Amino acid sequence: MIRRHEAWPAELASAGISRRSAITLGALGLTAGWGVTHERGNRAGVSDHVAPPGKSGAMLLQPQVLASRGGRLRIDLTAAGAVRGKQRTGMLTFNGGSPGPTLRVHPGDELAVRLINRLDEPTNLHTHGLRVSPEGNSDNPFLHIHPGTSFDYRHRIPADHPIGTFWYHPHAHGKVADQVFGGLFGALLVEPLPGEGPDLSTVQDRVLLISDISSDSAGRIAQPTGMEKMMGRIGESVLVNGQHQPSIAAAPGAPQRWRIINACTSRVLVIRLQDHDLVQIAVDGAYLPAPATKKRVVLAPGNRVDVLIHPTEAGRYDLTAEPYRDAIDTVLNIGAEDQTVTLATMTTAGPPAATPALPRSLPAERLGETPASVRRRITFGMGMSGTESGDMGHGGMTFTIDGRSFDPDRDDQIVALGTIEEWIVVNEDSFFYPFHLHTWPFTVLATSDLSPLSGVPQDVVLVPPNGWVRLRIPFTTHAGRSVFHCHILDHEDAGMMATVNVRR
């Protein structure tokens, strides 16, 4: 049995952690990441038990790395519940950890994953952002791997696949928000082959997977109310690599590359680093044409950014996430407190290092200028239904695309392989909606709120409340049937997803 401590730990009080958040962290055993055991070799073992928690502010840990060899990465990936003693916490793990292992592959590799389901419900696996086939045993969102069974995925990564930061998580409709909120996610990095890509060999490379959690009074993952599902659940505690407010070691003059992944189910992250610029080099796995110096970066759920950090003087510098606001200063993180959250602290110490020269240009993907031959209007909105699968359990609200709730057997958009299309995605509500399209990345051409444009392919974009975004989508790589949806995952589970069938 987990006991709730009545004493208030000094190290938590000094870190500014609320009593409720400390109960969450202590009960779930998350303050120092997950304890995992692994078999040696290229096939990961699994432990279903969580190691004892450490205190907030511990040194940032990196997830275990599993890298391809000889053009192939084969792993066992086990989805299971975490327990402390004999009590289930409701937390979920891949190979005994949350995040799961970081997968490193190259263009042209095969990624072979045996997904083993030790959960009490169906699950599956989505390689978010990878430009691989959506059919068969590849990135197929319609598969359901039932409890007690396994499935062999085979992802053939194209030889011309962009190098960059991607991630993986479950995508079994109706279960996605609970499983991601519970901890099922991990980083997936496509690395350049030797001699290719920009020279960042002098830069320390770190993955920062950001998630949020909440617990109930018994120390289990909290079950959201109907209202929280409708608004998009926001966790009480925000974690980096499963740790609460970890410390990131740095040396003056020694640059670091931070691959920041927003694995939250609903929270938009507006990220700053105290007294430092963020030099952005990529978004959603796509390099920018040149490094872009910013004071902040904004990540919708599912977005990734790669930034270069140039530590300067010795000291402690907070990495924070502010509430996301629109142009009229309305807090759009519905359900979140209007406050800045400390994600981590960069601790810079030691003698100054010579700052190496870094690339001034980057291998941004060249975008064709062929005009779109088809234009479509896609509408995100809410409806009322007490019986459809999208019922939220709160007043019968359901989330829809073009007025319809998700039906996996219906083709919502039929596209001819080889065409370039222009989609206007319209938001009829006062929520923000992060639009995500599988398999086929898009370029944002314009937004109604005049947000800055990256000019490179993305796979998630925020659609402003009562606004729109205009996208250019080349359906030129893979045929097959997949989905697009809102990446507020409770909305997706409630019906805000639709199919696209790209036919030869």
Contact 31, 221 (CB under 8 A): no
Closest CA to 230 of 391, 389, 386, 378: 391
Name 324's Cβ contacts closer than 8 Å, sequence gap at least 6: 268, 269, 270, 298, 331, 332, 333, 432
DSSP3 helix / strand / coil % (the chain, rounded to 5): 5, 40, 50
Pair of tokens at residue 500: 């696209």
Name 498's Cβ contacts closer than 8 Å, sequence gap at least 6: 378, 401, 402, 404, 406, 412, 413, 483, 484, 485
CA distance 421 to 475: 8
CA distance 12 to 55: 8
- DSSP class of residue 178 equals H
What SS3 class is residue 355? coil
Q: What is the CA radius of gyration of the chain?
A: 22
**Complete DSSP assignment for 371-407:** PPSEEEEEEEEEEE-SSSTT--SSTTEEEEETTB---
In this prediction, residue 367 carries a pLDDT of: 85
In this prediction, residue 186 carries a pLDDT of: 98
CA distance 172 to 39: 28
**Sheet-wide strand order for 237-240:** 243-244, 237-240, 204-213, 256-262, 304-309, 278-283, 286-294
CA distance 210 to 264: 7
In this prediction, residue 338 carries a pLDDT of: 61
Residues in a beta bridge with 156: 110
Residues of the chain with pLDDT under 70: 1-55, 325-338, 384-396
CA distance 239 to 104: 22
CA distance 308 to 203: 8
HSE, side-chain direction, 13 A CA sphere, residue 411: 8
CA distance 167 to 265: 14
Residue 67 phi, psi (nearest 5): -115, 150
Residue with tokens 């069974």: 149
In this prediction, residue 353 carries a pLDDT of: 84
Cα dihedral sign, 158-162-163-169: negative
Between strands 72-84 and 110-118, the pairing is parallel
Name 75's Cβ contacts closer than 8 Å, sequence gap at least 6: 42, 43, 44, 66, 101, 103, 112, 113, 114
71 phi-psi bin (left φ>0, alpha ψ -120 to 50, beta other)? left
Amino acid letter for position 164: G
Name 237's Cβ contacts closer than 8 Å, sequence gap at least 6: 21, 24, 25, 30, 212, 213, 214, 244
Between strands 102-105 and 65-67, the pairing is parallel
In this prediction, residue 86 carries a pLDDT of: 75
CA geometry: angle at 498 spanning 492 and 499, to 5°? 135
Residues in a beta bridge with 215: 221
Total residue count of the chain as it appears in this document: 504
Closest CA to 229 of 399, 436, 392: 392
Residue 178 phi, psi (nearest 5): -60, -40
CA distance 235 to 242: 13
CA distance 433 to 462: 6
